[in-house]
Amino acid sequence: MNRDTELFWWPARVLHWLMAAMVLTMLFVGVGMVASVSARHSWLLALHKPLGAAILVLALLRLILRLWRAPPPLPADLPALQRIAAQTSHWLLYALMLALPLVGWAMLSAGGYPVMLSDSLRLPAIAPFDADWFARLRWLHRVLAYSLFGLILVHGAAALYHGLIRRDGVLRSMLWRRRAAAETPSPPQDAD
Amino acid sequence: MSSPTPPPDPTDRPRRPPFPLARWALIAAAVTGVAAAFGYVGGWLDPHRLTPQRIVDRLQVNGGLHPGYRRNHAKGVCVIGHFDSNGSAARYSKAALFAPGRTPLVGRFAIPGGNPHAPDFGVPIRSLALRLTQADGQQWRTGMNSMPVFPVATPQAFYEQLAAGRPDPATGKPDPAKQAAFFAAHPETAAFRAWAKNHKPSASYATESYYGLNAFYFIDAAGTRQAVRWRVAADNRPAGNAPVPPPQDYLDGELNRRLAQGPLRWRLLVTLGQAGDPTADATRIWPQDRVEIDAGTVVIERSEAQDHGACRDINFDPLILPAGIAASDDPLLPARSSAYAESYRRRTAEQAGGATAHAQERAP
């Protein structure tokens, strides 16, 4: 058996860490821009929209890869409740990464705003101009964003729990290499 | 592709890690740290920051809470028309609406203040907001006022002005002492005060000129940036005199009487700034000798009551701009943009929740 089977497939790891940075940035940008009246408001807003579009595209790609290739299995001795929590939270993370950009896009459409990704690149509207829908989607965008942030905190805490307390290889499976493996006689390979 | 997990190796993973408390503390610290950073950026842990919410809160205090209405310039009327560009501004801006031709617009005349039932003649200022939609779907939104300068230059000063303008519960009017103290502390308001002193509230929306107030940049096809300010200058017959004493609601009816006879027109005049002209200070006008371009005609064809009109659900955010127009470094612009967004968020939520907020307020 290839030792890499304990690791996430390399495209999954690349996407995970890239999107971790993007999604966290996005959440901070979002919460910062709505609480700012300075020039920061403008440039954060200008960053928020193209970054959201990029996250949507990458989240779709990631979902396809995830369905195509299963992740390494969870440790056999993981309690059932933690196993369910892990699986549920991972699918929730996918759902939120896809839903937030879509809700944001629909929200701007319903508010009658041109959805500008740059000075001149405009996305089409995906919802009719309707202030009631804007109100609902604006609320939903905020609630989903806080939910995603909370879930990311739980996810990060769980990852550290696996890495620091249980030390069961789950955290390592999303990192770049296995722990320097004294127990394996073969020399390290970098065939990720 | 999954494979069964090998049984845990007891030598590889001791049951209890060394220093378990320190490890738990590290996890707690990491989570708390990220959450605290989020709280700081979001303003919850930064209580002194001026936020759009605080600005809109003060507008709400001054104007009273009127669910479903804009938090400022609450009293107004929707208008429909178009912009006929003569092509003169196309040399400076690549925006499609400045090429020769016609661009449809939805606009709104209004008076400042958060009370949708305020008397028309209580304030000397009238405003005109426009949303022009290009064929490519890009938009130009602009909110203009009938004075050439804004009282203050910064969001913080505006916030303080709102506090000074807070109605005294006893009189229902702002405390003159507080207002005098504010103006004394803010000499940049002098130009606005001089204008307000000599400007009688007009008896018509149609006779006023409306100024963009903030500076912007026009960007041409080669990417050259030109500092500009714009205004629309009235090209309509003079107003008659308003009845004495002036009625509570006069401007809407006056506008409708004019529109019944034909469209109303304004020329869109663009002033070209030169090096050194302030772009970040809406309290200062540019020198009178600056070149001015007549870019075309704003034509208003008909009006609609704001309760159900086409302008009701438009946020006239001055930073919604087509390619070819860009914001300047004026600090009022992002503040307007963010505060308008907060006002829009609140009033659309009220509209969706209470549905007939406008209608309810109208009931006697």
Residue B5 pLDDT > 60: no
Residue B3 pLDDT > 60: no
Q: Residue B300's pLDDT is what?
A: 98
Q: What integer is the mean pLDDT of B268-284?
A: 97
How far apart CA B151 and CA B139 sit, in angstroms, is 28
Write the ipTM.
Answer: 0.90
Q: Which residues contact B267 (CB under 8 A, 6 or more apart)?
A: B232, B233, B235, B294, B296, B297, B298
Q: Residue B239's pLDDT is what?
A: 85
Q: Residue A101's pLDDT is what?
A: 98
Answer whether A114 sits within 8 Å of B339, measured CB to CB.
no
Domain that holds residue A67: 3-72+81-172
In a domain, A181, yes or no: no
Whether residue B76 contacts residue B110, with contact meaning beta carbons closer than 8 Å, is answered with yes
Residue A3 pLDDT > 90: no
CA end-to-end span of chain B: 71
In a domain, A188, yes or no: no
**pLDDT tens for each residue of A73-103:** 999 999 999 999 999 999 999 999 999 999 9
Whether the bond into B245 is cis, omega within 30 of 0: yes
Q: What confidence category does residue B88 fall into, taking pLDDT thresholds of 50, 70 and 90?
A: very high
Residue B156 pLDDT > 80: yes
Residues of A in contact with B13 (CB under 8 A): 166-168
Residue-averaged pLDDT of chain B: 93
Q: What integer is the mean pLDDT of B254-268?
A: 97
Answer whether A76 sits within 8 Å of B4, measured CB to CB.
yes
In a domain, A177, yes or no: no
How far apart CA B155 and CA B150 sit, in angstroms, is 11
How many interchain CB pairs under 8 A, A with B? 155
What percent of chain B is modeled with pLDDT above 70?
Answer: 93
Which residue's entry shows tokens 């449809």?
Answer: B104
The tokens for A161 are 């729990």
Residue A184 pLDDT > 50: no
**pLDDT tens for each residue of A97-121:** 999 999 999 999 999 999 999 999 9
Which of B235, B332, B35 is CA-nearest to residue A24? Answer: B35
Alpha helix stretches (DSSP H) within A34-79: 39-68
Q: Between residues 101 and 160 of chain B, which touch chain A (CB distance below 8 Å)?
A: 136-139, 155
Q: What integer is the mean pLDDT of A178-186?
A: 47
Answer whether A153 sits within 8 Å of B351, measured CB to CB.
no
**pLDDT tens for each residue of B162-212:** 999 999 988 888 999 999 999 999 999 999 999 999 999 999 999 999 999
Q: Residue B17's pLDDT is what?
A: 86
Whether residue B73 contacts residue B111, with contact meaning beta carbons closer than 8 Å, is answered with yes
The tokens for B300 are 């208003």
Top pLDDT among B42 and B6 is at B42
Q: Residue A178's pLDDT is what?
A: 56
Q: Residue A181's pLDDT is what?
A: 47
How far apart CA B349 and CA B176 sit, in angstroms, is 35
Q: Which CATH class is domain B58-147+202-362?
A: mainly beta
Q: Residue B11's pLDDT is what?
A: 46
In a domain, A49, yes or no: yes
In a domain, A186, yes or no: no
The C-alpha torsion from B178 through B183 and B189 to B190, rounded to 10°, is 130
CA distances (Å), B134 to each of A88, A192, B100, in order? 46, 51, 12
Number of domains in chain A: 1
Query: B245 to chain A, minimum CA–CA distance in Å?
Result: 38
Instruction: Please give the distance of CA A178 from its chain centroid, rounded to a whole number.
Output: 23
Q: Residue B13's pLDDT is what?
A: 52
**pLDDT tens for each residue of B314-339:** 999 999 999 999 999 999 999 999 99
In a domain, A187, yes or no: no
Q: What confidence category does residue A189 fall into, taking pLDDT thresholds of 50, 70 and 90?
A: very low
Q: Residue B242's pLDDT is what?
A: 83
Q: Residue A179's pLDDT is what?
A: 53
Residue B10 pLDDT > 50: no
In a domain, A190, yes or no: no
Interface test with B, best of A4, A23, A37, A78 (most B CBs within 10 A): A37
Which of B16, B3, B12 is CA-nearest to residue A169? Answer: B12
In a domain, A179, yes or no: no
